[in-house]
Structure 1
Amino acid sequence: MSGDPLPGLRGRHRERETLGRLVEGVRTGQSGVLVLRGEAGIGKTALLDHLCDRASGCQVARAAGVESEMELAFAGLHQLCAPFLDRLPQLPDPQADALRTAFGLRGGAAPDRFLIGLAVLTLLSKVAEERPLICVVDDTQWLDRASEQVLAFVARRLAAESVAMVFAVREPGDDKNLAALPELTVRGLGPDDSRALLEWAQPGPLDERVRDRLVAETRGNPLALLELPRGLPVEELAGGFGPARWPEVSAGIEESFRRRIEAFPDQTQALLLVAAADPLGDPLLLWRAADRLGIGPAAADPARTDGLLTIGERVVFRHPLVRTVVYRSAQAADRRAAHLALAEATGRDTDPARRAWHLAAAAEGPDEEVAAELERSAGQAQARGGLAAAASFLRRAVTLTADPARRADRALTAAEASLQAGVFNAALGLLATAEAVPLEDLQRARVNLLRAQAQYWQSRGGEGPLLLLRAAETLEPLDPRLARKTYLDAWSAALFAGAMTRGTSLAEISRKALAARRPEGPPQAADLLLDGLSLALTDGRDAAAPLLRRAADSFGDGSAATIQEVVRSTAAAVMVWDYEAWVTPLTHQVRVARESGALSVLPVALDVLAQALCLGGDLRGAALLTAEAGAVTQATGSQVVSYGGIMLAGLRGREAEARRLINATIPEATAAGQGCAVQYARWATAILCNGLGRYEEALTAAQQGGDDAPELFVSDWTTIELVEAAARAGRPEAARAALERLAEGTAAAGTDWGLGVEARLRALLSDGAAADRLYREAIERLSPTRVRPELARAHLLYGEWLRRANRRVAARDHLRLALEMFGEIRMDAFAERARRELAAAGERVRRRRVDAFDELTAQEAEIALLAVAGRSNPEIGAQLFLSPRTVEWHLRKVFMKLGVSSRRELASALNETGRAAESA
């Protein structure tokens, strides 16, 4: 090779300009993200090196994925964050504790991985306050899953932190977490640059035909151009007498590295293998492990001289492919010896999970002692990396278990953990492993349950309820408590599938649940919920009301239940028309989920609470909750149907906005087998059209929504719209039949909400004094409740009736109240209907002024309201999964839009928005 220094990155003008703009943006206070994609050896690592070298005035943090540790949770993230862990005390306590747990610095329950993401975002933002920060992650395709998810989360949330993140990932690859991020594909060098690089790397005689073949067959891959000629005989290079075709690019590069490694002394090769098996890059750990193998410091010299390995503050390979080649080309026995040495060097108390992982890699075959240690370490792995990390340890334990019965039991445990972690294919494979031996009845029943859950959780389609029902029936004689839980799962699955449930029905599930054997002891809250919901389907609301009320009350403020249980309990609360039992426990659970960072379950709770706020008339608060839920689902990549968003669109009455959402929801939900979402969309159409005064269209939508699954609570809401639309469309018989069905439930519930709505609807179908009395009763009953839209609609209907009865003065009073309430709630279609009626009653009506709130985006509005409510920037950031610096950036934009300069002025500009913030 020539003694001249290697020229700069030849032919990389586009890439260097892109990276240069990224660095300049960071220096000026902006954040940036870029994913470099390309085949092995194409120059991604060289570009990362170039970026780091040119980042003067910036801090640089690096990490790289390592193939052998893809299942060790947060191994890659720890590499990146290690230099900054002294700043953990600057983070909010929940975030700091989450990172300490993830990195094994403290014990505790497994933190939500997205709380860890928020902690990393805050940490990097804190670091960047001192100097701009550039984070580079090489070989992202080999990052452990937990690290990749967290880093992708952080990348999606960057805005104004002076942080740049650059990922290098091999193409092709499976990296869905990075799919939505800005990317740059790195391609091969052009012919001229390829020839120049080849001639620099091979200064001796080089036949022109060989040179052109190398350029063509490597497709300009720089590492291939540097490595393929090494070690080739002179006659091949100078005379053109080589083989007809060299190996494929990647294979050729690997072969070049392999030849160089094989030329080293045995001890040097052994040292390289230990370094390749340990991704920590800790030189002290490397030398401790090497000492156990009898390898001395001189063994590193040949690799250092050749440039393949550098041992300084960190152990660094020249290129990630070198590590891969070292590890893959080693004999199995040598790999086991390296891992055993690393396990012994790690120590039982230092990092037991990593030690167990190395012991597993060192095992020659089934080893009960190592399997048991993996099983014990799964708890620590879960605390650090969640269920996915625990599942990987448990899966490895299964492979090391010789005893068939023990193997089957471990396979079931690992399958359950894999399923909960969302690793469905692995879970199904483990179930097949368990079934390879004769199973006890309870084990086989668990297999059926897990298989049903796997299939349902993957598709959420109409077959899920039947699969879960069969699993519950199988479990019934073996484990009554688990069977009851599974019956409730089946009921919930049928609720979401609605009319698209296949092979069974809510009624059948309910009958079988009621007939199932009861576990011993007093009933738990979930038992009351299952019995109440089931009885409502089999015997009607009147018979079920006492149980439903007990079930709703048993969850109280939600403090003694999980968020999933509270979300399910809302069905009971809505069936007995108990608004407080619906909203109170959910409000508590949302607060707990926010504080604890339980982002995996938070979107569902936010959405159900948004639905409650919609029916309570706090559309502004509901909009903020749906925006928050959207931010979480975007950050986490989860898929949650926004039922609250559907309700919000219908109640707001902004036709174009509502139609877009409804028209998108119905086909998507139908294809997914989510009948409940279709029913919500029908209800939203009905209330939209009633607000617009299009009663025939409202009637059609309400009839469709009620027919979809008439036993569900959503049908009660569609019935309200059906009765009003039918009455206004001159179809009183259709209205009366629907009203009588609704009245069964409202009478059984006996609440002012239900009875007030019933009175309002009966007034629509009455005349004279009876109608007057019923309207007054509706207003009297609804006034003390929190369901303000129902009260506003009662005033509207009464005012319309009074005007038609030529009682214009009284009509104006009620219409004025209705217009004021609809305006405050922001139900625009109904407000316009009230305005028209008030004008017809003889009163001049001004159009509502544009609210300052409408000038803001959803995220800006949410930040503004939280600021008005007295939250600090760090508190706002923790709730909205943003860094405090980004919150400050958004607040500056809010101030500019509203023409204010302080939080005190902001409160005045938004008028009563503080109250909306409190309700949310």
Structure 2
Amino acid sequence: MSDKGKETPRFLVGRSAELATLARHAEGARREGARAVLVRGPAGIGRTSLLAAFADRSAAAGGAVRYCAGSEQAEDGRRVLGRLLGQDPHALPEPAATLPGTPAAHAAYAFHRRFHRHLAGLLAAGPLTLVVDDAQWCDEASLRSVDFVLRRATALPLLVLFAQRTECHGPGTDMLAEFLAQGRCATLDLGPLTRADTARMAVRTLGRPADESFLRHCAEISGGNPARLVRLLTGVSAAGLGPDAAGTRHLRRTGDAVLAESVTAHLAGCPGPERAVAQALAVLGRSCSDPLAALSGVTGRRLTEALDALRRNGVVDGPPEDTAGGPTGGVVRPAAGHPVVTMRDAVRDAVLAGLPAARLESLRARAARVLNDAGRPAADVADQLLLLKELAEPWMLAVLRDAAAEAPDRDTSRAAIRYLRRALDADLTGTQRQVVRIELARASAPVAPATALCHLRQALADATTPGERAPIAVEYGMTALGTRDAPDAVRVLGEALTALQPEPGTDPADTELRTSVAATLLVTAVNEKAALAGVQERAAAWPVPPGDSPAERRLLSGMGVLAALDGRPARQAVALARRALKVEEPAPVGWWVFGASLVLGIADETDEALTGLGRVLSSSWDRYEPGLHMAALSGRSVVRHSIGDVGGAAVDARAAVDLAETVRGPSSPLPYIALGSALLSQGQLERAETALAHGGRRGVDRRIWEWHHHLYTLGRVRRERGDLDGALELWQRCGRSLEEAGVTNPVLAPWWLPTASVLVQLGRRSEAAAVAEGAQERVRRWGTPRGIGLGLLAAGVVADGRARLDLLAEAVDALAASPARLEQAKAQYQLGYELLRHEDTRGARRHLRGAIELATRCGYHILGGLARKLLVAAGGRMPQLAASPVDSLTDSERRVADLARRGVSNKEIADALFVTPRTVEMHLTNVYRKLDVRGRAELPRSLGAPGPLSPRPPERVGPPAGAHAPGR
């Protein structure tokens, strides 16, 4: 044994009850005779400090104290006995050689007697306290000598205090257990410090009261262990900090290291089962008892005891399991009722760092097998497989793929990528490698499309037959949508389609595959200026499919988009789009629904368009497809703006922009363009310009939808700034670009209408007439009320005299039959302006009030302001517009809300209005948002259309200076 010495602590906090207990035992020894107390606790809990403090008090009170401590080094016990006897330990004879020639038992007995006589001499002078610290390291012979004295000094004032480190098993552990079993020793278990004790310790160390957050971190990191707490506080003091916010930050940085070092020291001396459980839990991270027992090899009561010991020493989080069903603290109980024990990351890292590499690899492989056999989630098993150096068993590949398939959302998609990348390291066949690469591309597409395309290119390179290449080409095309690789995807899809030439007796599955490739080719090409013309020419020879399969419906959607871009009669494009959407498939909604919905939107079938976009938004949110979700939000913003719901358009566009700014990698410029358009209509020019600057980034000029909407909207901004030449240049550039791309639809980006209006303002009437005339054939061919109304408006702008008034009046009537409330308001304004020029003030005021009312309902503040100025100049009063939000409802929303308020079910409303139940739901959602109500019961009674405005008496007045028609 080695002398550990008596170390008196600077101060003792939180052990007043324990000191009182020892004092009671000392008093009992003085009055009733010898007794012993075993003070137990884990490392750092304060056993030595408590015994030293009690010894100091006993000595101060005049009692004799003998102190010694055991050591981990194996000795014969003489050093302990020597300290207790007050003699040189090496002058003592060997216990077994005291009486030469007698049996060992007689020698030991003689040795015990001599020890007893010596202590009896000390006790003759008064009470005596023997302190044996770290008694677990004492040899059995020494402890039996102490026991011999205790049993023969029952009438003497002797108190023996043993201290035992509970997690260690030394030579004296069994003897101490025997003392307890025979009832010859009382126990005093030391627990963690309380929160109040921690606060007092902080004040003693740092000199002032601590913040609540500082104390909370101290308690969490130290676990109430005094030694650990002293290290934390000393570190804060050495850093020159106090128990405040700065000190708390220091604790966060250093606390894990303190805890890990403490745990490492504890595990070095703990019993084998406890160490095995700690290592198994470190590998598993968190576990219930069955996998933990299977991996550690420690079961039953031994497992429970090991976990309890680990908890006491901060290795495992939380207190022991509450078998009575009470609170379990840090122990997590899953639904099945089995407690789950956890381990802090810092502790886990420290335990794993102490394992040899081969041992750690073996544990991880066994852990994966144990979890898999126990039926745990594939992700739990895959997390172990990620750490293995080698995937040696076939089942491991299946688990990694299953784990990736279960991780389709934003929070887990990166985990899916890790699983599949690890799967590529396995010994795979060529087909398996292709499948894994495709799955890896799907997982990567939402967060890293460039990486996904790289994997697909490798899969394409490995494919050997057209049948193998075709589905990979489809994945490549869908992943490349909106990226700079889209033109290459068009090429790949075109080659794949050519290679899949149909033959007599072709299998239906092959036909479906070919149709899928064709549909993806259209979806990929319809937004690429350089590719559109070639694909249009190729698709012109394709027969229109019946739409009986998912692939055929996707092809119908692409054909509908082509028909719309080509400017064919809207009824043809609408028929194709409707056939594409006629079945709500159980499969996830994709880009084909988005494309068909946009076709319906520009063809004035806005209710159906919003319904389709709602389907896309719901599906893309559930599956975490950020690119598609952004596009659907932006598309719905454009459709809402087109029907005069400027506020709703701004909400959708902002949501799309917010998503675009959180998605890693390049994103579509369409959210910014849609936001710029809505902000412009709301009169926020500077914010609109900022949004459009984001939307005009490099590369957008090759996209059909985004580029031309960008040019068109930016031209509107220039005009509002008074830069007519700049606006004209942008609109004419838009027209030329559409012509180059082969897009002839007149309402996709109707640049020709404001161009004609500005040319007239600049005195270039002949040029304006040519622009307006060039649009007439196209709007008549397209044939929607919106297109016809815009064509009439352009013709009216360039006409003279009475013909101008007649054309503008026709435009107002045509637009009134469409959902285009913004355009109707512009036409009303333009007609009112012209009537005022012809001195028809009564008619001018009537149409200007109509323009103001429509602009107010739509949230079109720019036009509303112009119309108000012109109305005042015409001698009219401002109309008394209702302040109720009801006026912001569209006609369709108003009809649906009125029926809903009367108790009509959604299905009955759908049947009555010839729309789908989903459309009814979408309208009601918009109504609730606009009216700020939570349901049908809160809908206002008055939802009917407002009555006509009373006309004011006509007054003769000229137009205000600088007034101009806003065009589109």
Q: Deviations over 1:333-379 (max 9, x none)?
A: 43354345545654657435256437746795432233234445554
The 1:335/1:426 distance shift into structure 2, 3 A limit, reads farther
1:786 Cα deviation from its structure 2 partner: 1.6
The 1-side partners of 2:236 and 2:416 are apart by: 52
Q: Is 1:699 aligned with 2:728?
A: yes
Matching residue of 1:176: none
The residue type paired with residue 308 of structure 1 is V
Matching residue of 1:163: none
1:677 Cα deviation from its structure 2 partner: 4.2
The 1:381/1:283 distance shift into structure 2, 3 A limit, reads same
Within-5 A mapping of 1:787-798: 787-798=820-831
1:302 Cα deviation from its structure 2 partner: 7.0
Secondary structure class of the residue paired with 2:791: helix
More helix by share: 1
Which of 669, 672, 677 is the equivalent residue of 1:647? 677
Matching residue of 1:488: 522
The 1:557/1:194 distance shift into structure 2, 3 A limit, reads farther
Contact 2:438 2:459 in 1 (8 A): no
Give me the TM-score of the superposition, normalised by structure 1: 0.59
Contact 1:189 1:222 in 2 (8 A): no
Matching residue of 1:473: 494
Contact 1:716 1:742 in 2 (8 A): no
1:758 Cα deviation from its structure 2 partner: 0.8
Which of 771, 786, 790 is the equivalent residue of 1:753? 786
The residue type paired with residue 471 of structure 1 is V
1:762 Cα deviation from its structure 2 partner: 0.9
The residue type paired with residue 541 of structure 1 is G
Q: Deviations over 1:565-616 (max 9, x none)?
A: 2321244335655545544533565578789999885443333222212121
The 2-side partners of 1:417 and 1:596 are apart by: 12
Secondary structure class of the residue paired with 1:610: helix
Q: Tell which deviates more after alignment, 219-228 or 801-810.
A: 219-228
Contact 2:408 2:624 in 1 (8 A): no
The residue type paired with residue 271 of structure 1 is V
Matching residue of 1:526: 554
Secondary structure class of the residue paired with 1:779: helix
The 1:735/1:287 distance shift into structure 2, 3 A limit, reads same
Q: Deviations over 1:742-773 (max 9, x none)?
A: 32331112222211211121122222343333
Secondary structure class of the residue paired with 2:286: coil
Secondary structure class of the residue paired with 1:524: helix
Secondary structure class of the residue paired with 1:541: coil
Contact 2:558 2:596 in 1 (8 A): no
Contact 1:343 1:354 in 2 (8 A): no
The 1:373/1:667 distance shift into structure 2, 3 A limit, reads closer
Q: How much is the aligned-residue C-alpha RMSD, in angstroms?
A: 5.5
Q: Tell which deviates more after alignment, 798-807 or 629-638.
A: 629-638
The 2-side partners of 1:852 and 1:14 are apart by: 61
Matching residue of 1:616: 643
Q: Is 1:813 aligned with 2:846?
A: yes
The 2-side partners of 1:647 and 1:600 are apart by: 20
Contact 2:382 2:399 in 1 (8 A): no
Contact 1:692 1:830 in 2 (8 A): no
1:440 Cα deviation from its structure 2 partner: 4.7
Matching residue of 1:49: 220
The 1:426/1:505 distance shift into structure 2, 3 A limit, reads closer
Tell me: higher relative CO, structure 1 or 2? Use CA pairs within 8 A at least 6 residues apart: 1
Q: Is 1:398 aligned with 2:424?
A: yes
The 1-side partners of 2:374 and 2:287 are apart by: 20
Matching residue of 1:507: 533
The 1:553/1:14 distance shift into structure 2, 3 A limit, reads farther
Which of 691, 694, 709 is the equivalent residue of 1:680? 709
Matching residue of 1:312: 320
Matching residue of 1:136: none
The 1:519/1:794 distance shift into structure 2, 3 A limit, reads closer
1:529 Cα deviation from its structure 2 partner: 3.3
Q: Deviations over 1:182-233 (max 9, x none)?
A: xxxxxx99987127999xxxxxxxxxxxxxxxxxxxx9778869968xxxxx
The 1-side partners of 2:400 and 2:377 are apart by: 9
The 2-side partners of 1:366 and 1:433 are apart by: 25
Matching residue of 1:335: 360
Give me the TM-score of the superposition, normalised by structure 2: 0.56
The 2-side partners of 1:821 and 1:475 are apart by: 52
The 1-side partners of 2:632 and 2:789 are apart by: 28
Secondary structure class of the residue paired with 1:832: helix
The 1:406/1:673 distance shift into structure 2, 3 A limit, reads same
The 2-side partners of 1:10 and 1:480 are apart by: 80
The 1:733/1:277 distance shift into structure 2, 3 A limit, reads farther
The residue type paired with residue 858 of structure 2 is I
Within-5 A mapping of 1:64-463: 193-194=237-238, 261=267, 264=270, 267-291=273-297, 296-297=302-303, 303=310, 307-309=314-316, 312-313=320-321, 314=331, 319-339=344-364, 341-342=366-367, 346=371, 348=373, 350-354=375-379, 356-357=381-382, 360=385, 365-376=391-402, 378-380=404-406, 382=408, 390-400=416-426, 402-423=427-448, 427=452, 439-440=464-465, 443=468, 456=480, 460-461=482-483, 463=484
The 1:350/1:192 distance shift into structure 2, 3 A limit, reads closer
Q: Deviations over 1:429-481 (max 9, x none)?
A: 75587589675555566667766766x47xx55x3331221221232224533
The residue type paired with residue 846 of structure 1 is M
Matching residue of 1:210: none
Q: Deviations over 1:120-165 (max 9, x none)?
A: xxxxxxxxxxxxxxxxxxxxxxxxxxxxxxxxxxxxxxxxxxxxxx
Matching residue of 1:107: none
The 1-side partners of 2:813 and 2:437 are apart by: 58
Contact 2:486 2:524 in 1 (8 A): yes
Contact 1:685 1:698 in 2 (8 A): yes
The percent of aligned pairs where both chains have the same amino acid is: 19
The 1-side partners of 2:813 and 2:489 are apart by: 45
The 1-side partners of 2:316 and 2:736 are apart by: 71
Matching residue of 2:878: 846
Secondary structure class of the residue paired with 2:751: helix
Secondary structure class of the residue paired with 2:763: coil
Q: Tell which deviates more after alignment, 811-820 or 384-393.
A: 384-393
Contact 2:281 2:287 in 1 (8 A): yes
Matching residue of 1:127: none
The 1-side partners of 2:542 and 2:872 are apart by: 61
1:323 Cα deviation from its structure 2 partner: 0.3
The residue type paired with residue 281 of structure 2 is A
